[in-house]
Amino acid sequence: MGHTIGIDLGTTYSAAARVNELGKPEIVVNRDGERLTPSVVLFQDELPIVGTMAKRSAVTAPLDVVQFVKRSMGDPSWKFETSGGTTYRPEEISAIILRRIKDDVELALGSPVTDAVVTVPAYFDDAPRRATIDAGRIAGLNVARVLNEPTAAALAYGVEHEVEGTVCVYDLGGGTFDVTVMRVGGGDFDVLATHGDRNLGGFDFDNLLMRLLDERFQAAGGPSLLDGAEAEADLREKAEIAKRSLTTVEQTRVVLSGGGVSKVVPLTRAEFEDVTSSLISRTRDIAEIVVGDAGLDWSGVDHVLLAGGSTRMPMVRAMIEKVSGRQPIRSVNPDEVVALGAAIQAHLVDLEVADVAGAGGTNGSATGTADGVRAEPLPVLASAVTRPRIRDVTSQGLGALALRRGAASPEEVENVVIIPANTKIPAKRGQVFETIENNQTRLKVEVTQGDDDDPDYVRAIGEQTFDIPPYPAGAPFEVVYAYDIDQTVFIEVHDRTSGERIGTFEVNNVATMAEGEVASATDRMRLLDIS
């Protein structure tokens, strides 16, 4: 049996890692000898190809290439249709990427992989988290834990360097952005606050740079390069290359062609930073909010850790240094640190299973797994912190819709937050509501995610209606909400008059796939030959 692995399922690049026999987390290279796998899928004659070859085909076959799908996880309206007419949901595209990673790890390690810890942006709400779990199931993986990306980054850094103090993790990836502040010490990783934007990342920097280059090309006499799929894909590739070049040099030149016109467009780092300054300001504002939510100011932050490939941009480091008053940590690879943290969490999952099996797990004996018994002993983390303890927080408030007390009409509804954002998880809290009519026999529980009392600024994620005894108006019923360790939602309803529990339900998020759809997608995935 193979060990549980860690997977950073990224918007633009993904990576897999494991804790090796020496107790060190390490990246597992893919079949192409690469440490990172582009999160891009090309459908060639209906067969999926994942990774570098798919990314290179984005210009020549843009309608058969799908990328940046992570930003659509949990969106039931998003579909990708191949040129052959086959339709895929975001979970299925992500499952194809995960299946390729799974196959690559099995090839590298020579043993089967059935379990994984998969990272997600801290600011993902219930729908994309469940969608990520479903993607893993479709790919043939048991997702043992969903781990927040900033927490994973801090875990990797903290275990490797035995850090003490308060750490601010600024995580700017290809498509998402998170900031997390946590206190680290004595093996404890205690998250204090987290916040983010699931639609802010390197993709958005590329978009603004594409517009700038397109404007300059048009000013030089060329047509717009944003009007056709192939021209736009070519422009995106060149904008990304230019962005990477400006990370190390002050200026570059971009060769653009279209409509029989070819021009060399000069570009400086200062111009790029100017056109994207609003995005950097958004990340700065979120970082300052999180530090405040943690009850600190920047003087109370001991370490600033950068994660995500987009933090390589010099303006990110300059901004962080300016607002925090300290140099960000440079001793970690921002592209790999999240996957390494996921591997450590995966190792902890293996230890938990071994403990439950009563087999020890660190003394050379056989250890339990989800599927039976593993013959070889588990490695011991090569660190003084051999069993880190992680306490994360909710990234989204959890609440219910209710008629406003004293309301004159049934339209006066408010959102009642029961578990606020930044509550330690797992969490369980209740709120008492009252019936509004005499002899009312039905109670509807509408579950929301968000922290505003205005229903227009929160998102409904599920509902359930219960039969109740016909009490006079004002009868109390307690609705108890729970977030589990993966930040998925479970609800109990109690009759406070009789003292009995009248029902429970787990939110089946309306935005995610039904069980039958997952089973069908899993069957289809087994038939795919993924390259």
Which residue from 11, 15, 12, 9 is spatially nearest to 336, judged by alpha carbons? 15
| Cα 291 to Cα 288: distance, rounded to the nearest angstrom | 5
pLDDT in tens, 245-257: 999 999 999 999 9
Residue 162 has pLDDT above 90, yes or no: no
**Closest to 243 (Cα-Cα) out of 159, 342, 174:** 174
Backbone angles phi, psi at 508, to 5 degrees: -95, 90
Give the ranges where 117-180 is alpha helix by DSSP (H): 126-138, 149-161
Asked if the model's pLDDT at residue 515 lies above 90, the reply is no
Section 102-125 average pLDDT: 93
- CA–CA gap between residue 352 and residue 358 (Å, rounded): 10
pLDDT at 369 (0 to 100):
47
Question: What pLDDT is attached to residue 367?
Answer: 45
Q: Summarize the confidence of residues 216-234 as an average pLDDT.
A: 92
Predicted confidence band of residue 486 (pLDDT cuts 50, 70, 90)? confident
pLDDT tens digits, 370-396: 444 444 677 888 787 778 899 999 888
Mean pLDDT for 211-234 is 93
- Euclidean distance between CA atoms 234 and 257, whole angstroms: 9
Stronger pLDDT, 376 or 208, i.e. the higher one: 208
Q: Return the H-helix or E-strand segment holding 433.
A: strand 427-434
* Per-residue model confidence (pLDDT) at position 460: 87
Whether the pLDDT of residue 186 is over 90: the answer is: no
User: From the centroid of its chain, how far is CA 496?
Assistant: 38
Average pLDDT, the chain: 90
Output the pLDDT for position 363.
43
Look at residue 365 and tell me whether its pLDDT is greater than 50. Answer: no
Query: Cβ neighbours of residue 152 under 8 Å, at least 6 residues apart?
Result: 6, 8, 119, 337, 338, 339, 340, 341, 342, 344, 345
Looking at residues 472-493, what average pLDDT do you find?
88
| Amino acid, single-letter form, for residue 445 | V
What whole-number distance in Å separates Cα of residue 301 and Cα of residue 247?
27
Q: Is the pLDDT of residue 59 over 80?
A: yes
Kindly tell me if the per-residue pLDDT of 527 is higher than 90: no
More confident residue, 58 or 134: 134
Is-above-0.95 flag for pTM? no
Which pLDDT belongs to residue 19? 93
pLDDT at 228: 87
Cα–Cα distance measured from residue 205 to residue 414, given in angstroms and rounded to the nearest whole number: 37
Domains and CATH numbers, the chain: 5-162+333-387+517-526 (3.30.420.40), 202-275 (3.90.640.10), 398-506 (2.60.34.10)
Buried b (16+ CB within 10 A) or exposed e, 449-477: bbbeeebeebebbbbbebebeebeeebeb
When pLDDT is cut at 50, 70 and 90, the band that residue 86 belongs to is: very high
